[in-house]
């Protein structure tokens, strides 16, 4: 569609601009440092959201190779951006992104890179799994893969946070998986935020009863416009416009 084409064009324009900046730096005899390369990788990651995102991921790995050739050791932040790039490409429909992101951790970070994964690493891994399953068509992943990353997080001695819970909820499909994520949050002592409840509603689309039940369990201080709009949308799509109208009056 037109939106996808616009996103693809904007992504390419951003990449070309970044390349020009890098070329200018080299022309002035400046050597890019790890922060410069991280910024460049972030451009590729964002560009990967559009169709054809796999190509941007390939370019990102070329940047990693250039870093090594120039004697600039990548750090944890660099590898985290590479994982985010997998999430973007997975959302755009590229297959096997979770496997690729796991290889970044096992093959590069813990292998040749000598970097320790942090909480952002694992939250990003979970997001890769979640975004891949929500692509059209779905490309695998989902909560099962997300829980694999979650277990690795715990074995690494790290404490999950709200972003972890939301990344898991993003990959939930169906009421059972929604309840599982809520249970994980409760077991970990992590209070869900408004995004958690919005994602929980979306996990069971076109189900007015589910949408209203999630809203009812959402504390009043978490019921912002995002939660109400998500609930209204799913109730309307589910064929309950009258109930949605009553809910709108409550809001």
Give the CATH number of the domain where residue 147 resides. Answer: 1.25.40
Same domain, 69 and 145: yes
Q: What pLDDT sits at residue 137?
A: 62
Residuewise pLDDT in 10s, the chain (251 residues): 443 454 456 677 888 999 899 999 989 998 899 999 999 999 999 988 776 667 889 999 999 999 999 999 999 999 999 999 999 988 888 888 999 999 999 999 998 878 999 999 999 999 999 998 876 666 667 899 999 999 999 999 999 999 999 999 999 999 999 999 999 999 999 999 999 999 999 999 999 999 999 999 999 999 999 999 999 999 999 887 766 566 655 65
Same domain, 123 and 221: no
Residue 28 CB neighbour total at 10 angstroms: 7
Q: What pLDDT sits at residue 197?
A: 99
Residue 170 lies in a domain: no
Cβ neighbours for 15, distance < 8 A, ≥ 6 positions apart:
43, 44, 47, 56, 59
In Å, how far from its chain's centre is CA 228?
23
Residue 166 lies in a domain: no
CA dist., res. 168 & res. 20, Å (int): 38
Residue 71 CB neighbour total at 10 angstroms: 7
Cα radius of gyration rounded to whole Å, the chain:
20
Same domain, 80 and 154: yes
Q: Which residue range(s) make up the domain with 51? A: 1-158
Residue 188 lies in a domain: yes
In Å, how far from its chain's centre is CA 33?
26
Same domain, 91 and 190: no
Same domain, 149 and 182: no
Check: CB of residue 93 under 8 Å from CB of residue 136.
Answer: yes
Residue at a domain's end among 130, 158, 186: 158
Q: What pLDDT sits at residue 95?
A: 84
Residue 43 CB neighbour total at 10 angstroms: 22
Same domain, 233 and 110: no
Q: What pLDDT sits at residue 239?
A: 81
Count the domains in the chain.
2
Same domain, 143 and 200: no
Residue 16 lies in a domain: yes
With the C-alpha atoms ordered 75, 76, 80, 82, is the resulting torsion angle positive or negative? positive
Q: What pLDDT sits at residue 90?
A: 86
CA dist., res. 170 & res. 186, Å (int): 17
Same domain, 23 and 123: yes
Residue 55 lies in a domain: yes
Same domain, 152 and 220: no
Same domain, 77 and 121: yes
Same domain, 237 and 203: yes
Same domain, 62 and 138: yes
Q: Which of 185, 156, 170, 157 is nearest to 124 (CA)?
A: 170
Q: What pLDDT sits at residue 251?
A: 59
Q: SS3 breakdown of the chain: % helix, strand, coil, rounded to 5? A: 75, 0, 25
Residue 164 lies in a domain: no
Q: What pLDDT sits at residue 114?
A: 86
| Residue in the structure block whose two tokens are 């985010």 | 84
Q: What pLDDT sits at residue 136?
A: 62
CA dist., res. 220 & res. 22, Å (int): 49
Tokens (6 digits) for 242 = 């009258």
Q: What pLDDT sits at residue 111?
A: 86
Check: CB of residue 48 under 8 Å from CB of residue 85.
Answer: yes
């Amino acid at each position: 569609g037109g939106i996808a084409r616009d996103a693809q064009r904007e992504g390419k324009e951003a990449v070309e601009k970044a390349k020009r900046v890098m070329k200018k730096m080299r022309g002035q005899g400046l050597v890019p440092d790890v922060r410069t390369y991280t910024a460049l990788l972030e451009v590729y990651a964002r560009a990967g959201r559009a169709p054809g995102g796999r190509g941007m991921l390939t370019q990102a790995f070329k940047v990693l190779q250039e870093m090594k050739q120039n004697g600039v050791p990548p750090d944890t932040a660099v590898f985290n951006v590479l994982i985010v790039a997998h999430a973007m490409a997975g959302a755009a429909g590229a297959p096997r992104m979770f496997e690729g992101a796991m290889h970044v951790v096992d093959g590069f970070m813990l292998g040749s890179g000598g970097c320790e994964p942090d909480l952002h690493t694992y939250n990003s891994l979970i997001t890769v799994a979640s975004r891949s399953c929500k692509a059209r068509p779905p490309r695998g992943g989902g909560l099962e893969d997300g829980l694999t990353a979650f277990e690795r997080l715990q074995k690494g001695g790290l404490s999950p946070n709200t972003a972890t819970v939301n990344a898991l909820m993003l990959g939930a499909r169906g009421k059972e998986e929604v309840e599982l994520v809520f249970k994980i949050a409760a077991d970990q002592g992590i209070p869900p935020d408004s995004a958690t409840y919005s994602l929980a509603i979306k996990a069971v689309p076109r189900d007015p009863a589910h949408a209203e039940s999630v809203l009812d369990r959402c504390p009043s201080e978490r019921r912002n416009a995002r939660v109400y709009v998500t609930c209204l949308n799913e109730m309307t799509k589910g064929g309950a416009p009258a109930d949605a109208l009553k809910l709108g009056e409550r809001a």
